[in-house]
Structure 1
Amino acid sequence: MPEPETGKPDAPAQPAHPHTATLKRLEQSSGSLAAQAIARMDETLPWYRAMPPENRSWIGLVAQAGIAAFTEWFRRPDAPQAISTDVFGTAPRELTRAITLRQTVEMVRTTIEVMESAIDEVAAPGDESVLREALLVYAREIAFATAQVYAQAAEARGAWDARLESLVVNAVLSGEADEGAVSRAAALGWNSPEHVCVVLGTAPDGDSELTVEAIRRAARHAKLQVLTGVLGDRLVVIAGGRNDPLAVAKSLIGPFAQGPVVAGPVVPDLLAATRSAQAAAAGLKACTAWPDAPRPVLADDLLPERAIASDPSAREQLVEEIYRPLEEAGAALLETLSVYLEQASSLEGAARMLFVHPNTVRYRLRRVTDVTGWSPSDVRSAFTLRIALILGRLADGDPQL
């Protein structure tokens, strides 16, 4: 009896491969070619011999997958194929961290050389040039695939590093820096320099990644370690490696937008950088009260403006570093400084009010400079000293201030 019809058309027959004999010989030789490639790597690549067994086994799988992918490529050269998935998908993502791009190129080159040297043996008679041309095209594609794999890995690492850096910068600025922030910074290459300061200013318009990269270039030129980020409209830079915050700010000022740039005081480490960041932030806020402030300016040079703007740390610093030392040095210094400032910085006027010789006033004022580091004869310093005297008297009257 005749077979009943199923109603389904016959599947179209696959066209025969134009080089069937070469394809079959290539399939049969793939295992030995992979073994030869691994043996060649072990012979010629010192870094491969020095690797732990686990990584060497993964490299062996990549070499085998590369030869298998070439076989499939030769079978169907016109079919769309994801070479990077076929070859590098066999290895874990961590392999891109363990093996550099240069080492991967050497591995691919060695494998291609082994395959190229075997063309005369693998190819059927008359197919040598066809197989050689296919291998050249495949080598180009595998090179592009290698670049793609490492580019994607670098992009992923870059995105993760940017997130880590943003977390560290935000923790320092918000006063939440802890050992976790230190660990994240270490993962970013922060080597715990002895001198750390924070520089704050306005971020320029445009791509924040370009701004961050510009800061890094400036830091490399100045031999500084930096952690940086754009938070809102602020450009924040945590810099380490130099004990001069003003010099640090000057070396990094290029990428900042127009407007004030304030450098916080130097602190010993990243955990203490919150203090520098808070001083710089308070200085940036108070900078509008000093239109002629230099750019960049130290947060400590803005102590009077910060104190008037209700910065408690600035008030405490002015009292503890200026008023108390003068108080301990003797009532004569406090009285002389107060009268001198009230007399519009006139030596003769202060001398008349104090019933002493002008040279006595001059001597006492030099002592004020020695004790506090601020010179009463300088207009800006005189303003700072006046604010410190006011705050000290208020603190004596009300200890809570």
Structure 2
Amino acid sequence: MDQLSPSTVTALRHAQNTLIEHSLDRISTAHPWYRTLPAASRDQIDTVARLGVTMFVDSVGEQGGTADPSGIFNVAPIALTGTVSLEQTLDLVRTVVDVVEEEAPDVAPAADHDAVRVQVLTFGRDVGFAAAKVYARVAEARGAWDARLEAVAVDAMLHDSADDAATRAGTAGWRGTGPVLAIVAHTVLDAMATSHLRHECRQYVQDCLVSVHGDSVIVVLGGACAPERPVDEPTPESELAAAADRIAAGLDGAVVIGPVVPGVAQAGRSLRSALAGLRALPGWADAPNPVRADDLLPERLLAGDPLAAEQIQVLVTEPLRAMGALYEETIATYLALGRSLEMTARALFVHANTVRYRLGRVSQQIGWDATDARDGLVLHLAVIVGRLAAAPTE
């Protein structure tokens, strides 16, 4: 790079204060958002601009010397990066460079005009890269801190009280009070992939937490609160479940989706159900992927998951009993006799069409069809769980 003559360097030193003042005037005029900043933030930006011009003049006055533009940002606290975005910072750098590029050559001899412009543009480029590096370091540190907060929140959902779980989630940025569900995937994600997943989740839902645990990834999703809606419109719970389906479909490996729960304080129930489903998944060789934890109730129950026993009672046993003893007896007899309509009808002293009618009502009412092998297994276990729960204890 061409060196500037001593007379040009002297002229730039004499014009230094003028260049600084004109740069600050241009910043205030060209960027309305700058004028809305707190006085302390404006003072810090002014200090950075002054140091930048000073460092440029010093650098061109050093024969063969080099300046480290990143030192310009050492005078501003890291907290300023949370007030002024990288885009705004680059706009400020561009404004100062424009002023110096326009005015600095005018104070130098004509022979050095082009050299001064090259020096200004080169220094401005280096300052821009330095600013990007500062913001990248801050973003990396902030991302690592956020990831730790999310991991702590997820751990609280698994092991702490509901109130503690809600508090930890709030610390990690959770703001909503609507329905929640958890997704667990047996996959490995690096920091970049985890950040991408977090960004994708926020395209679909109001709140999310993403935490990597060894070879598994845990995602907790939160939907909006339930406003008054027409009957035919989707509910927040159904919208959240649909969003979970889309997100889960994009994950590699085995994926289990937990049940929807009322709020973040109950998120642990959905998360524990999903984790139990992932552990029990090998028991169902033909399971779809993704699969819902409630579709793995038989495997979870046999694996000793206490939540599965509770859930099968809520989803199947209690609705079946609410239909009446005849329906429960018909289901139990039909399944015990190998799903034979004729044998069930003889055992109950009714017509086969009556058995068929009762089975259809149960399927319509609670969603499990006794004539299907998989649904029949769920119903059979539900009957057994109900009988065990009703049995007197010594």
Shorter-chain TM-score: which interval?
A: 0.7 to 0.9
Residue aligning to 2:232: none
* Aligned positions, number: 377
Residues 286, 126 of structure 1: alpha-carbon distance in 2 compared, 3 angstrom cutoff? closer
1:252 aligned onto 2:223: no
Range moving further from structure 2, 44-53 or 162-171: 162-171
Residue aligning to 2:197: 215
**Of 385, 390, 394, the match for 1:396:** 390
Q: What's the secondary structure of 1:271's corresponding residue?
A: helix
Residues 82, 397 of structure 1: alpha-carbon distance in 2 compared, 3 angstrom cutoff? same
Contact 2:8 / 2:108 at 8 angstroms: preserved in 1? yes
Q: Superposition RMSD on alpha carbons, in Å?
A: 2.7
The aligned runs of 1:284-295 (5 Å cut-off) are 284-295=278-289
Q: What's the secondary structure of 2:209's corresponding residue?
A: strand
The aligned runs of 1:177-188 (5 Å cut-off) are 178-186=165-173
Q: Following the alignment from structure 2 to structure 1, what is the Cα–Cα distance between the partners of residues 328 and 28?
A: 81
Q: What's the secondary structure of 1:170's corresponding residue?
A: helix
**Of 341, 355, 371, the match for 1:377:** 371
Residues 226, 386 of structure 1: alpha-carbon distance in 2 compared, 3 angstrom cutoff? same
Residues 22, 303 of structure 1: alpha-carbon distance in 2 compared, 3 angstrom cutoff? same
Contact 1:41 / 1:107 at 8 angstroms: preserved in 2? yes
The aligned runs of 1:1-400 (5 Å cut-off) are 19-85=5-71, 87-123=72-108, 126-175=111-160, 178-186=165-173, 190-192=174-176, 194-204=178-188, 208-216=190-198, 218-219=200-201, 225-241=207-223, 243-244=237-238, 247-253=242-248, 256-258=251-253, 260-399=254-393
Q: TM-score, normalised by structure 2?
A: 0.86
Q: Following the alignment from structure 1 to structure 2, what is the Cα–Cα distance between the partners of residues 136 and 45?
A: 21
Range moving further from structure 2, 262-271 or 223-232: 223-232
Q: Following the alignment from structure 1 to structure 2, what is the Cα–Cα distance between the partners of residues 322 and 18?
A: 86
Give structure 2 stretches of 5+ with no counterpart: 224-235
TM-superposition CA deviations, 1:274-309 (whole Å, max 9, x none): 111011111111122111111111111111221121
Q: TM-score, normalised by structure 1?
A: 0.84
Q: CA deviation at 1:371?
A: 4.6
TM-superposition CA deviations, 1:56-98 (whole Å, max 9, x none): 111111111011101210121523432111x111111112221
% of aligned pairs identical? 38
Q: CA deviation at 1:226?
A: 3.4
TM-superposition CA deviations, 1:3-22 (whole Å, max 9, x none): xxxxxxxxxxxxxx973333
Contact 2:23 / 2:99 at 8 angstroms: preserved in 1? yes
Q: What's the secondary structure of 2:208's corresponding residue?
A: strand
The one-letter code of the counterpart of 2:184 is L
Residues 385, 161 of structure 1: alpha-carbon distance in 2 compared, 3 angstrom cutoff? same
Q: What's the secondary structure of 2:172's corresponding residue?
A: helix
Q: Following the alignment from structure 2 to structure 1, what is the Cα–Cα distance between the partners of residues 206 and 176?
A: 12
Q: CA deviation at 1:120?
A: 4.6
Range moving further from structure 2, 171-180 or 377-386: 171-180
Residues 145, 201 of structure 1: alpha-carbon distance in 2 compared, 3 angstrom cutoff? closer
Query: Which structure's CA Rg is the greater one?
Result: 1
Residues 243, 77 of structure 1: alpha-carbon distance in 2 compared, 3 angstrom cutoff? farther
Residues 308, 398 of structure 1: alpha-carbon distance in 2 compared, 3 angstrom cutoff? farther
Residues 24, 314 of structure 1: alpha-carbon distance in 2 compared, 3 angstrom cutoff? same
Q: Following the alignment from structure 1 to structure 2, what is the Cα–Cα distance between the partners of residues 246 and 183?
A: 22
The one-letter code of the counterpart of 2:222 is G
Range moving further from structure 2, 121-130 or 286-295: 121-130
